[in-house]
């Protein structure tokens, strides 16, 4: 799904913030990204290799278009 729409950015972001500028320092983009990253990494942290888990690397994105 990542490659199908905005590089994985959820469709509802554009509905909630019609003037948002994706992948910039836009305050709404930064706010939503921070919320998502905090939720993601709070779940991933216990699974990281340094914490005894199987995950050795996390790649947030592999290219920007």
- The pLDDT of residue 4: 58
How many whole angstroms from its chain centre is CA 47? 18
Of 35 and 65, which is predicted with more confidence?
35
Whether the predicted pLDDT of 1 surpasses 90: no
Whether residue 62 has pLDDT greater than 70: no
Within 1-62, strands assigned E span none
What's the mean pLDDT when you consider all of the chain? 86
Is pLDDT of 18 > 90?
A: yes
């Amino acid at each position: 799904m990542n490659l199908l729409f905005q590089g994985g950015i959820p469709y509802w972001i554009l509905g909630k913030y019609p003037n948002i500028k994706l992948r910039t320092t836009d305050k709404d983009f930064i706010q939503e990204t921070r919320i998502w990253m905090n939720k993601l990494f709070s779940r991933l942290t216990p699974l990281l290799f340094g914490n005894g888990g199987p995950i050795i690397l996390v790649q947030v994105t592999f290219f920007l278009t």
